[in-house]
Each structure stands twice: as structure tokens, then as C-alpha cells.
């Protein structure tokens, strides 16, 4: 197994795991249309990573590479449509005719692919560094390239314009994060060169590195600048967990004192003391817990950011 295959397998495997984590967080907190558009786009990126990982780990099994290639290629045909649709929704642009057009074009490319007229996979390229499925040339290739370039770069342009016009500093950073991430994923298409007969092994790991960069950019945005409003949810859950741990510790301490010291002094049955400890916990600690929870709710309420 060559260094190119090993590096690409590591990159694609890491990218798949990272995309799944971000995808899980996004799907569990999605509330708006563009949340689901971005989540679906991330799902296709995860599929792209997983397919590339399988291509590398099963590289010597040439009879499997064509099937893996089809699994990667067909759903990913909708990436330009999802990116463009998301960018119009998120930036507030009303370009319905362009959104409809991109879905029609990607749908046509998908149908052509199913009938073997576009992105037809047949055979395997056996390079000195490894094996990869072979995509045959088609008269529809220029259409596919044009759809990818026009709509993906248009989406990037909308996001960068929105960042330039944004008045809020955090919102501007959100536009920039997503705009840069979209630009990176657009350029990641260079990795497909190897399936079209371009024997440039650096294209494959370079493309997967760009996909990993996209995942890293979105991950950093979530952690650093509360993109998708997920960081606040994580912080809130962590704070409540610490609060619960504190209450449990306090209750256990009270119970220990009652059973160990009071029980020894008065010779009382431990069961009765346990019940007393429960009563103290309910009477004293629960009201404290409720007051703290309300304080936490108020604290986060006016800091909530909407993606």
C-alpha cells in the first residue's frame, strides 16, 4: 500500500468522523429550512469521505471500486444545488428561478448518470501509487463542470457579500466561516482528476485535505463563535450537569453525616436516617436547584444567537 493511499485513507476517515459529529449536532438542533439544507450538504460530504475511505482501504480489491464509485457519485451530484439553495436562504436572497434551475440541471445530470450517459464508471485505472475507478468521457462533461463552477462560486459570492454588508461582528464572522468553507469544498473537486485519467497522485490527498479543512472551519465556527447556536446548548448542558453533580454531592454528604455521626450517637436505625436525608434533600436542595436553573435560563436567554 503506497503512501498516497495511506494518507488519503487517514484524511478521509478523519473527515468522515468529523462530518458525522457536526452533522449530529446540526440535525438535533435544526429548526429552519437552511439548517436542513446545510445538514443535507454535510451528509453528502460525509458520504464523499466514507466512499473515499473505502476506496483506499479496499484498494487492492479492484472488483469493488466501480460500485463504490457509483455510490459516491450519484448523490453528490446535488452538492451544487444544496450549496446554492442554502446560500440564497441564509443570505436572504430571493432567486427562486435560479434555485429551480440548479435543481433541474443537477436532476438531469443524475438521470443521465443513471442511464450511463454521464459520469459512466467502467473499469479501473491502475496507477503506480494505487487503483481508482475509471470515469469515461462524455459530451455532457462540460455541463457538469459548468453547473459546479457557476453555482458553487455564486454561493461563495453571496456569502462574502453578506459578510461585507453585515453590521453585527459575530454575524459577519459566521458569513465568512461558511463562505470560506464553501469555497474550500468547491475547490476540493480537484480530487476527481484521478478518476478521469490524470495521473497526478497529489490530487487525491489534496482534495481530501480540502474537505477536512471545510469540516475544521465549520467545527471551529461552532466552538469559537457559536455557529448554529450549538455551543450555547453544549455550555448549558454542561452547566446543568455540574449543578446536578453538586447537588448529588451535597445530598450524599448530608446522608453520610446523619448516618455516621447522628446514627452512632442516638443508635437510630440507618433506614430511618436515610429517609430523613431524603427529606432534607427535597426540602432544602430542590428549591435551591430550581432557583439556580431559573438564573441559568435568564443568563442564557439574552445571549442566544440565531444562526
Model confidence at 304, pLDDT cuts 50, 70, 90, reads very low
pLDDT digits (tens, 9 = 90+) for 238-257: 555 555 566 666 666 666 66
pLDDT score, position 305: 43
- For the entire predicted model, the pTM comes to 0.72
**Percent of residues, the chain, with pLDDT higher than 90:** 36
pLDDT digits (tens, 9 = 90+) for 1-41: 789 999 999 999 988 988 888 887 777 766 778 888 888 89
Q: Which residue has the higher pLDDT, 275 or 164?
A: 164
Q: Which distant-in-sequence residues (6+ apart) come within 8 Å of 266 by Cβ?
A: none
140 has a pLDDT exceeding 90 = yes
Give the torsion sign (CA, 39, 41, 42, 44). Answer: positive
64 has a pLDDT exceeding 60 = yes
**Percent of residues, the chain, with pLDDT higher than 70:** 71
pLDDT score, position 213: 85
Q: Which residue has the higher pLDDT, 206 or 253?
A: 206
What stretches of the chain adopt beta strand conformation (E)?
Answer: 121-126, 131-135
pLDDT score, position 218: 77
Mean per-residue pLDDT, 53-71: 91
The C-alpha atoms of residue 46 and residue 218 are separated, in whole angstroms, by 14
pLDDT score, position 25: 73
Amino acid at each position: 500500500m503506497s503512501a498516497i493511499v495511506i494518507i488519503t485513507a487517514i484524511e478521509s476517515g478523519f473527515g468522515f468522523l468529523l462530518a458525522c459529529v457536526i452533522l449530529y449536532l446540526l440535525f438535533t438542533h435544526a429548526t429552519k429550512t437552511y439548517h436542513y439544507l446545510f445538514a443535507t450538504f454535510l451528509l453528502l460530504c460525509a458520504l464523499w469521505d466514507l466512499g473515499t475511505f473505502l476506496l483506499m482501504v479496499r484498494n487492492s480489491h479492484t472488483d469493488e471500486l466501480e460500485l463504490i464509485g457509483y455510490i459516491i457519485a450519484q448523490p453528490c451530484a446535488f452538492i451544487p444545488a444544496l450549496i446554492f439553495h442554502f446560500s440564497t436562504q441564509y443570505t436572504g436572497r430571493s432567486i427562486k428561478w435560479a434555485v429551480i434551475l440548479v435543481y433541474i440541471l443537477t436532476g438531469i445530470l443524475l438521470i443521465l448518470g443513471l442511464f450511463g450517459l454521464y459520469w459512466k464508471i467502467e473499469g479501473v485505472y491502475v496507477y503506480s501509487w494505487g487503483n481508482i475507478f475509471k470515469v469515461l468521457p462524455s459530451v455532457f462533461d462540460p455541463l457538469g463542470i459548468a453547473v459546479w463552477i457557476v453555482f458553487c462560486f455564486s454561493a461563495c459570492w453571496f456569502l462574502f457579500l453578506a459578510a461585507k454588508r453585515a453590521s453585527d461582528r459575530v454575524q459577519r464572522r459566521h458569513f465568512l466561516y461558511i463562505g470560506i468553507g464553501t469555497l474550500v469544498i468547491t475547490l476540493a473537486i480537484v480530487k476527481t482528476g484521478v478518476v478521469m485519467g490524470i495521473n497526478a497522485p497529489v490530487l487525491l490527498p489534496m482534495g481530501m485535505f480540502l474537505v477536512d479543512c471545510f469540516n475544521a472551519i465549520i467545527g471551529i465556527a461552532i466552538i469559537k463563535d457559536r455557529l448554529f447556536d450549538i455551543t450555547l446548548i453544549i455550555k448549558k448542558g454542561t452547566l446543568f450537569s455540574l449543578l446536578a453533580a453538586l447537588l448529588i454531592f451535597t445530598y450524599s454528604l448530608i446522608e453520610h453525616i446523619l448516618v455516621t455521626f447522628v446514627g452512632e450517637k442516638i443508635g437510630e436505625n440507618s433506614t430511618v436516617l436515610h429517609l430523613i436525608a431524603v427529606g432534607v434533600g427535597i426540602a432544602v436542595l430542590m428549591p435551591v436547584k430550581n432557583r439556580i436553573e431559573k438564573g441559568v435560563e435568564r443568563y442564557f436567554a439574552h445571549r442566544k444567537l440565531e444562526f
